[in-house]
C-alpha cells in the first residue's frame, strides 16, 4: 500500500495531470487556469526551438545508440572469453560508472573538460594543441556529451550482451570445434545467428534509453551553447521551471508530444520482441 500510494502521487498523478495542464494556460503560481483547448499544442508545433530540440534529441540518439550497442557487443565478446584473465574485474570496472549518480558525473566532467584549468586542457597544452572548449562550442558539445553518456551507461548494454551470450549452448561450440571450425566460423555461424533476436531487443531498449538524458545534459551544458544540446527534456524543463514566467500549460503540451514519441518507441519495442521470439522459434 505505501508503494502504491507513493507511485500514484509522484508518477501516475503527474502523468494524468499533465494532460489537463496541456489544455490550459497556467503559470503554476496563480489559481486561475484558463482553458485554451489545443492552442498550446499549436504553439509548441509552431515553435522552431521545439523542432530544434527534436532534431538534437534524434541526433543524440544516432550518436549514442550505435556506440553503445555495437561497442558493448564487441566488449562483451571479449569479456565472455574464458581465456581472458581477470574478466570479472573488468566487468565490474566497466559497470561502475552505471551506479554513479548521473548529475555528479555531469558536474565532474564539466570540471575535467574546463578549457582553463581542466586536466584535458593541460594535456592538450603539453602537445601544443592549446585549450579546446569541448562543451562550450556548438560544433563539439553534443558529440562530447554523447561520448560521456556512452561511457556512463556502457555497462548496462554490456550486461545485456553478456546475458545474451550465456544463452548460447556450449555444446554447439564444442561440436563445431570437433568438425574443425575456427574462431571466425564459430562467431559467424553460431554466435551471430543466435544473437540476432537479442540485437533487436537491445537496440530498442538502448534507443528508448537515449530519450532520457536530462540529468547528464542539464548538469553539463544546460542545453547550450546556443541550444546545440537542448534535447526535448531540457526544452520542457526550460518552459516549466527555468522561464521568468513559467508556462506549465505550454510545457505540458510539449511533454505530451514527447510522450507520443516515446510511445512510438515502445510500440517498436513490442514489435521487436515479437519478431525476436519468432526468430528464436525458427532457430
* pLDDT tens digits for range 130-165: 778 889 889 899 999 999 999 999 999 999 999 999
Distance CA 80, CA 283 (A): 22
Residue 245 DSSP code = S
Closest CA to 80 of 196, 183, 165, 152: 165
Calculate the alpha carbon distances from 160 to 50, 51, 78, 86, 100 in Å: 33, 33, 14, 20, 19
Residue 3: its pLDDT value, please?
Answer: 92
The helix/strand/coil state of 24 is strand
Distance CA 27, CA 33 (A): 8
**Below-70 pLDDT ranges, the chain:** 276, 280-281, 283
Burial 83-122 (b: 16+ CB within 10 A, else e): eeeeeeeebeebeebeeeebeebbeebeeebbbeebeebe
Q: Among positive and negative, which fits the CA dihedral 276, 262, 154, 64?
A: positive
Alpha carbons within 13 angstroms on the beta-carbon side of residue 259 total 12
Name the β-bridge partners of 35.
Answer: 24
pLDDT tens readout for residues 91-136? 889 999 999 999 999 999 999 998 888 888 888 888 877 778 889 8
Is the bond preceding residue 225 a cis peptide, omega within 30 degrees? yes
pLDDT at position 280? 65
With residue 35 as reference, give the H or E element that holds it.
strand 34-35
Helix, coil or strand: residue 228 = coil
Say if residues 71 and 155 touch (Cβ distance below 8 Å): no
CA 212 to chain centre: 5
Amino acid at each position: 500500500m505505501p508503494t502504491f500510494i507513493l507511485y500514484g502521487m509522484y508518477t501516475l498523478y503527474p502523468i494524468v495531470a499533465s494532460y489537463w495542464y496541456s489544455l490550459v494556460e497556467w503559470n503554476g503560481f496563480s489559481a486561475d487556469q484558463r482553458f485554451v483547448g489545443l492552442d498550446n499544442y499549436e504553439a509548441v508545433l509552431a515553435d522552431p526551438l521545439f523542432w530544434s530540440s527534436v532534431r538534437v534529441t534524434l541526433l543524440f540518439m544516432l550518436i549514442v545508440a550505435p556506440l553503445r550497442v555495437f561497442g558493448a557487443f564487441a566488449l562483451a565478446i571479449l569479456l565472455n572469453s574464458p581465456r581472458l584473465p581477470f574478466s570479472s574485474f573488468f566487468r565490474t570496472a566497466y559497470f561502475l560508472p552505471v551506479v554513479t549518480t548521473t548529475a555528479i558525473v555531469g558536474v565532474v566532467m564539466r570540471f575535467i573538460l574546463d578549457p582553463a584549468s581542466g586536466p584535458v586542457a593541460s594535456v592538450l597544452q603539453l602537445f601544443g594543441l592549446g585549450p579546446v572548449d569541448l562543451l562550450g562550442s556548438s560544433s563539439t558539445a553534443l558529440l562530447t556529451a554523447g561520448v560521456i553518456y556512452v561511457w556512463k551507461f556502457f555497462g548496462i548494454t554490456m550486461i545485456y550482451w553478456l546475458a545474451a551470450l550465456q544463452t548460447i549452448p556450449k555444446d554447439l561450440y564444442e561440436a563445431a570445434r570437433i568438425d574443425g571450425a575456427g574462431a571466425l566460423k564459430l562467431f559467424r555461424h553460431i554466435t551471430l545467428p543466435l544473437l540476432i533476436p537479442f540485437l533487436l531487443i537491445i537496440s530498442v531498449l538502448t534507443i528508448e534509453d537515449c530519450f532520457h538524458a536530462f540529468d547528464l545534459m542539464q548538469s553539463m551544458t544546460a542545453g547550450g551553447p546556443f541550444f546545440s544540446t537542448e534535447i526535448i527534456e531540457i526544452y520542457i524543463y526550460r518552459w516549466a521551471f527555468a522561464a521568468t514566467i513559467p508556462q506549465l500549460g505550454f510545457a505540458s503540451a510539449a511533454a505530451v508530444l514527447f510522450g507520443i514519441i516515446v510511445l512510438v518507441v515502445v510500440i517498436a519495442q513490442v514489435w521487436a520482441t515479437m519478431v525476436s521470439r519468432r526468430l528464436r522459434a525458427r532457430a
